Amino acid sequence: MTVMQVGAGAAPKRSFQEVWVVSIGHALTHWYPATFYLLLPLIGSELGLSYTEIGSILTCQFAAGAIANIPGGIFVDTVRRKGLLMAVSLFWVGFPYLVMGYSHAYWMMLACATMVGIGNNLWHPTAIPWLAGRFPERKGLVMSFHSMGANVGDALAPLAVGALLTVLSWRDVMVLNVVPGIVMSVLILTYIGRISNRTNAAPARKPAGGSAQRLRAFASLLTDRAVVTLSVGSTFRTMTQSALLTFLPIYLARDMGYSPLWIGLSMFALQAAGFAAAPIAGHLSDTIGPRQVVTSSMTMTALILLAMIFAGGTIWFVVLIAVLGFFLFAVRAVLQAWLLDATPPDLAGSAIGILFGAQAAGAAIGPICAGLLADRYGIMAAFYFLAGTIVIANLMIFVTPSGLTKGR
């Protein structure tokens, strides 16, 4: 009801430039973790880490994000300076990787990964509801462009780092990486800050009620069936994604003998396919509803993962990486838009906090579970694990209330 009233009002025409600026910032929040995925095999070799220890570094990062997301979402709903929050988040993501570049201790890697998890997950409860509020009638499309920013960062980072590693050490790359984050933080702070100042000059709609009432409203989200099923489904989907991004470069390096440059190209293919899929999925979500898009994409993801297991060690394994990316990354924005349709606008940040908290929990569990399986049964066991988690994710989508699929 509230969403329809906002959309039906005299909403001013928004410049899509806002979407591009925030999406570029989103690209950098993914640039740093994507860089780290490619550097992990080198870090693991230098520090003498096992598969489980490598997985535990990512587990610390995503576990911290899972813990920080929900209080972060509540905090975002009460703070109006969205540009400042996005800038702080972006800087907070990049700086710990700079520290890692000078570290020689496993425990310091864990500590820095924890800091990254906290900073990275402040971005989504801020940026996603902000964009949805600016473009209420085109949530699916706008979310897809924001998601494309993630794919750009995830795709270009391994490509650039793979090339840099031919002439620089992984530590030099870590140090250089802090520069784009600082530049983009300043741009976000000034550009979004100007828009926020113009918006804040108009009468502001204060959050209803006091702290107790807001906590009761937040508690109602935790019992909402759509919020719960979408969040749990996203948890298992993200388990698939995080374990894949952790162990795919390791498999390509150790089992297939690929150089860092060729690993970077393979990871680029994975993310570039996701970049192409995002606007298609967003448009289809706005027209036919998100359920059909999500279920078909997850089904194809499971089938392609099984095909990759049988194609292991051959060129077909590499070819299937790009096909996998098209379907695996297509549904991220669709799930976000679906959740926002089922959530009151004044609780949008909290809802996104719940979603990304659940996803961060899945991302934390995925790498270490896959690492334990790889240490015990061989690395291909990790890929069987990926296929199982995406199937469970799809089952959760089937039990999400169907009436919400046409909520736009």
What are the tens digits of pLDDT across the range 152-162? 887 788 778 88
* pLDDT one-digit tens code per residue, 367-404: 888 888 988 888 888 888 888 888 888 888 877 876 54
From the list 149, 182, 115, the residue with the least C-alpha distance to 279 is 149
Measuring CA to CA, how many Å separate 316 from each of 240, 312, 380?
Answer: 20, 8, 15
Q: How far apart are CA 114 and CA 95, in angstroms?
A: 12
- pLDDT (0 to 100) of residue 203: 46
Dihedral sign of CA atoms 94, 180, 363, 309 in order: negative
Q: How far apart are CA 232 and CA 328, in angstroms?
A: 16
Tokens of 176: 């250089």
* Separation of CA 85 from chain center: 17
* pLDDT one-digit tens code per residue, 77-97: 777 677 778 888 888 887 888
Q: How far apart are CA 93 and CA 121, in angstroms?
A: 9
* pLDDT one-digit tens code per residue, 32-86: 877 887 788 788 888 888 878 887 887 788 778 777 777 777 777 777 677 778 8
Q: How far apart are CA 98 and CA 181, in angstroms?
A: 11
From the list 66, 86, 98, the residue with the least C-alpha distance to 358 is 66
- pLDDT (0 to 100) of residue 113: 85
From the list 387, 406, 388, 393, the residue with the least C-alpha distance to 291 is 406
